[in-house]
Amino acid sequence: MNFKKITRNKIQIIPMLIAFGILCSCENDVAEIESLTHRKNEPISIGKNVELIYSEKSNVQIKITAPLMEEYGVEENKYMEMTKGIEVLFYDSLMNISSTLTANYAIHRVSKNIMEAKDDVVVVNDKGEILNTEHLIWEQDSSKIYTKDFVKITTEDEVIMGEGMEANQDFTKWRIHKIKGIINIKEEEEDSLKSE
């Protein structure tokens, strides 16, 4: 009788020990997974004072400089983040700067070949026209820049404000989608001269 009772107790204890072992091993696996996930959020590489040059047939077309560039992800999820700002110079066929783009933050989604610039984005073309916005998307494959956010474009004669715009990447041809207001600079200057 006593032998059978001990055997039953042992049989009942064994499944409990197995269940406890599985739970302990699950905790270790979860901790391991969390540590691997945490590592994925850390940059693969970090570059300081980075300069990237894009050229075609030995002609420099674009030069990107950034004080800090951090690379994340792998393959189709790869992206580069510039958290301390960016400057992009676009060159024409004669190697003259045709336009510049600056921003306080940028992210380049490598597989999509798209760069997003945010926070005080300024684009200036060789005619002296200036685009100001807080968010701009640059599609490198189509050589197009655009935004759905508020924009202000300053030309020699006027300041145009609106919601959304698109342009070619060197900002020589542009269009504002919803114009909210136009200020004629020459009229403003003439009015201020008359009031003096």
- Domain over 46-188 is classified CATH 2.60.450.10: yes
Query: Rounded distance, CA 31 to CA 29, Å?
Result: 5
74-104 per-position pLDDT tens digit: 877 889 999 999 999 999 888 899 999 999 9
Buried b (16+ CB within 10 A) or exposed e, 1-36: eeeeeeeeeeeeeeeeeeeeeeeeeeeeeeeeeeee
Which token pair is 51? 């300069």
Task: Retrieve residue 14's tokens.
Answer: 């064994």
Predicted confidence at residue 4, as pLDDT, reads 43
pLDDT number for residue 168: 93
39: its two tokens: 């590592």
- Per DSSP, the residues of 117-138 read EEEEEEEEETT--EEEEEEEEE
The pLDDT value given to residue 46? 92
* Contact status, residue 182 vs residue 158, Cβ threshold 8 Å: yes
pLDDT for 191 equals 52
DSSP reduced 3-state for 75: helix
pLDDT value of position 40: 54
The overall average pLDDT reported for the chain is 81
Low-confidence spans in the chain with pLDDT less than 50? 1-11, 14-28, 30-31, 33-38, 193
- State the pLDDT at residue 93: 84
pLDDT at 60: 87
What's the pTM? 0.73
Q: What is the pLDDT of residues 44-63, one digit of tens each?
A: 889 999 999 988 877 888 99
Domain ranges of the chain: 1-42, 46-188
